[in-house]
Amino acid sequence: MAESKWMIELDGDTPLDEAARQVLAQRLSIVPERLAGALAEADLDLEHVHQLRVATRRAGAALAVFSGCLPPRDFERARRRLRRLRRAAGAARDADVFVAMIAARSTRVRSDQRPGLDYLLGFASGQRAAAQQNLIRATHRKPHDWQQYFADVLDAVTQPDEPRTLGRLARPHLARLVADLESAARQDLQEYEHLHQVRILGKQLRYAMEIFAGCHQAEFRECFYPAIVEMQEILGDANDSYVASNRLSKLRANLEATQPRFWKRLRAGLDGVLHYHQRRLPRCRRQFQDWWRRWLELNMVGHLQLFVA
């Protein structure tokens, strides 16, 4: 089945078990394809690990949407296995982002920052190699074994008593995700964990919208979906800076305490990167607040009734 994020061939009248088989077949089959590249060619192209991470997220969202079509034991087992693979791919991807950021900064630094940047590049590269090994261990299975396992998941799909069509599921499922997102966004976002929760809920909404696209008119994809993508980009930058700041702060404290002479040579480079991320995170929060005001004006919950195909 060709890869596409939009499941527009399904409409509101599609029986739910039929929709579940089509969506899960598409979403799950991509995971072993991306896994093969992430295991064998991660050094050649960073996109392999990134796309594996995205594939596991989309597959997890599909499982959540169609959980009522699977026996609880099959659903929970598939959810756990995807989660483990997603987390391992996520750690590798975070390391890739950190290495790329350090490498980019290394091309335009003052001479006194060079030792620190060179040290960070070596440190980050070692972290990335360790993350790749963790990814390999987390799979437990070859891509072919994952294909067989996911085929067994598809065989377990059944038609629930209610709802019986994709359209009957679309509105309450999306309304709940939007309500969860908006509730999280009203928390104190100075606490990063609250901001991170908004990011997670935004991803869940985005991937569910892709599944239900055929149940709604074009405005659904042209208006609300791009807004969610924009939010993800803002909070993705925030997450990168939060992770980098924590990593650099711990590394900085350790070097200062255990290698004081060495630390003097490294300080300018490490502090330059740390200060950049400490400044960017508040900026991302402000960008999100601007986005939040525009999102409320869109009123997705109110428009769900209007955008039924």
Per-residue pLDDT tens digits for 123-148: 999 999 999 998 988 886 666 678 88
Per-residue pLDDT tens digits for 187-242: 999 999 999 999 999 999 999 999 999 988 777 888 899 999 999 999 999 999 99
Do 109 and 204 belong together in one domain? no
265 closest CA partner among 151, 144, 116: 116
**In this structure, is residue 181 part of a structural domain?**
yes
pLDDT at residue 220, rounded to an integer = 82
User: Which of the listed residues 131, 156, 181 is the one where a domain comes to its end?
Assistant: 156
Three-state helix/strand/coil letters over the chain:
CCCCCCCCCCCCCCEHHHHHHHHHHHHHHHHHHHHHHHHHCCCCCCHHHHHHHHHHHHHHHHHHHCHHHCCHHHHHHHHHHHHHHHHHHHHHHHHHHHHHHHHHHCCCCCHHHHHHHHHHHHHHHHHHHHHHHHHHHHHCCCHHHHHHHHHHHHHCCCCCCCCCEHHHHHHHHHHHHHHHHHHHHCCCCCCHHHHHHHHHHHHHHHHHHHHCHHHECHHHHHHHHHHHHHHHHHHHHHHHHHHHHHHHHHHHHHHHHHCHHHHHHHHHHHHHHHHHHHHHHHHHHHHHHHHHHHHHHHCHHHHHCCCEC
Please answer whether residues 114 and 269 qualify as being in contact, where contact means their C-beta atoms are separated by less than 8 angstroms: yes
Predicted confidence band of residue 2 (pLDDT cuts 50, 70, 90): very low
Does pLDDT of 3 surpass 60? no
Do 220 and 119 belong together in one domain? no
**In this structure, is residue 3 part of a structural domain?**
no
Do 39 and 103 belong together in one domain? yes
Predicted confidence band of residue 309 (pLDDT cuts 50, 70, 90): very low
Per-residue pLDDT tens digits for 42-85: 887 889 999 999 999 999 999 999 999 999 999 999 999 999 99
**In this structure, is residue 10 part of a structural domain?**
no
**In this structure, is residue 90 part of a structural domain?**
yes
How many structural domains is the chain composed of?
2
**In this structure, is residue 8 part of a structural domain?**
no
User: Which of the listed residues 133, 156, 179 is the one where a domain comes to its end?
Assistant: 156
Domain that holds residue 292: 165-309
User: Which of the listed residues 94, 122, 156 is the one where a domain comes to its end?
Assistant: 156
Range name among 93-102, 226-235, 263-272, 299-308 with the lowest pLDDT average: 299-308
Sort 117 into a burial class: Cβ within 10 Å, 0-12 / 13-18 / 19+.
Answer: buried
**In this structure, is residue 7 part of a structural domain?**
no
Per-residue pLDDT tens digits for 88-127: 999 999 999 999 999 988 888 899 999 999 999 999 999 9
What is the rounded average pLDDT for all residues in the chain? 91
Residues 6+ apart with CB under 8 A from 7: 19, 22, 23, 26, 210, 211, 212, 213, 214
CA distance 295 to 94: 28
pLDDT at residue 143, rounded to an integer = 65
pLDDT at residue 1, rounded to an integer = 40
pLDDT at residue 280, rounded to an integer = 96
Average pLDDT over residues 142-159: 85
Do 91 and 230 belong together in one domain? no
